[in-house]
Chain A
Amino acid sequence: MSTPLLLLLCLCATSALAHELHHEVSQAQAVVIRLTYGDDTPFAFEAYEIYPEGGKLPAQVGRTDAQGRVAFLPPQAGRWRVKTWSEDGHGLEFTLETGVGTTPAAEDRPLYERHGRIVAGVALILGLFGVLNLYLKRKKS
């Protein structure tokens, strides 16, 4: 066999090796984001994207698991924008901050928890209409 042919065969073998996939199993600490509907039903198997703050390319994309969870291993400390959506128009966009050795804190959270929010909202609406009522009475008199 001629030397050039032998070299070509060797090159082909290297190229074939490059298509091999390897796997490695390890444990690492991840940020776990749980997404639910208002009634606590998991936002399951829906799409999400996580972007570094100001970045246009996502650091991670995928779908939530059956419990509506996303496991995210931030490549570095910083702020991350999480976008998630379903085909029927449900979704959410929020930011979270991850640091070294700190518990990540989700931001843009609502001010009150669910039941408190409902009561506060009703009180606000009735209060606004009360003010409107005073205005009407004043106008009449």
Chain B
Amino acid sequence: MHLPDGFLSPQTYLPAYGLAAGLWWLAARRLRRTLDAERLPWLAAVTALAFVLMMLALPLPGGSSVHATGVALLAVNFGVWTAFLAISLVLALQALLFGVGGVTALAVNALALGLLGSAAAWLAWRAVQPVHEVLALILAGWVSMVVPAAIIALVLGIQPAIAHDAAGRPLFFPFGLAVTLPAVLIPHALLGLGEGLLTWLGTLTLKRLRLRHAV
């Protein structure tokens, strides 16, 4: 789900950088107030796990590949703003040092995965948690995959309309919404089930480890 360089027009990534910069600043201020030394090692471990998950691609039938993200695991256990910063850090490291995901697309990737994915996961978890804890965690993982996929598909699909030459030829990503929405959403809707299981098992493990550590 990492958009690479060359897919997005400046009309897309420049405003996205402006928006993301403001939100990163807000999130950093919030983290400074709320973060304590007890939670920090756990946050570091889950952020590192999210990095590893995003680097491990799983092959899909048809030749494509997907990867888990750990977004919901971060959002449920550490809150939306902290998850946004942690995922942004992971995406920045991947883009700047390892060539995974584009530098120009970093803000769009961070907003889609880190902010909106986390917010969707947290909201789904909070809404369903009173009814069923396990279902809430699985749903959080699923929406953390599907919501960013929908946003990425939308952003990709509008590129031919907003950036084309005089003859109407797309200058960046060439496919419209009719292609991008099913092509991006369908595999991620399936992968979301795996992300849901990961969120459930990850949260369970994290709770047990934290309890053991506290004792």
Could you list which residues of chain A lie within 8 angstroms of chain B, going by C-beta atoms? 37-39, 41-45, 47, 83, 85-93, 108-112, 114, 117-118, 120-122, 124-126, 128-130, 132-133, 136-137, 140
- Which of B87-95, B116-124, B129-137 contacts the other chain? B87-95
Contact B36 A85 (CB under 8 A): no
B-to-A contact residues, CB < 8 Å: 1, 3-7, 35-37, 40-41, 43-44, 47-48, 51-52, 55-59, 63-65, 67, 89-90, 93-94, 97-100, 152-153, 156, 173-175, 179-180, 183-184, 187
* Cross-interface CB contact of B47 among A37, A129, A130, A136, cutoff 8 Å: A129
Contact B187 A129, beta carbon cutoff 8 Å: no
Whole-angstrom CA separation of A140 from B153 in the bound complex:
45
The CA-CA distance from A47 to B156 in the complex, in Å, is 16
Considering the chains assembled together, what is the distance between the CA atoms of A42 and B179 in angstroms? Answer: 21
Instruction: Identify which of B5, B55, B67 contacts A93 (C-beta below 8 A).
Output: B5
Q: Check A122–B52 contact: CB distance below 8 A.
A: yes
Chain B residues, Cβ within 8 Å of A47: 174
User: Which of chain B's residues have a CB closer than 8 A to the CB of A92?
Assistant: 4
CB-nearest residue of chain B to A118: B55
* Docked pose: A130 CA to B40 CA in angstroms: 9
B65 adjacent to A38 (CB under 8 Å): yes
Chain B contacts for A122, CB-based, 8 A:
48, 51-52
User: Are A121 and B98 in contact, CB atoms less than 8 angstroms apart?
Assistant: yes
Chain A interface mostly helix, strand, loop or mixed? mixed
Q: Which residues of B contact A128 (CB under 8 A)?
A: 89
A125 and B97: CB pair below 8 A? no
In the complex the two chains form, is B99's CB within 8 Å of A109's CB?
yes
Residues of A within 8 A of B99 (CB): 108-111
B64 touches A37 (CB 8 A): yes
Query: Hey, which chain B residues are within 8 Å of A86, CB to CB?
Result: 64, 183
Residues A121 and B93 in contact, CB atoms below 8 Å apart: yes
Contact of B63 among A41, A114, A132, A137 (CB under 8 A): A41
- Leading 7 A-B pairs by shortest Cβ distance: A129-B44, A93-B6, A38-B57, A110-B99, A37-B65, A88-B183, A87-B183
**Least Cβ–Cβ distance between A103 and chain B, in angstroms:** 21
> Which residue of B has the minimal Cβ distance to A116?
B98
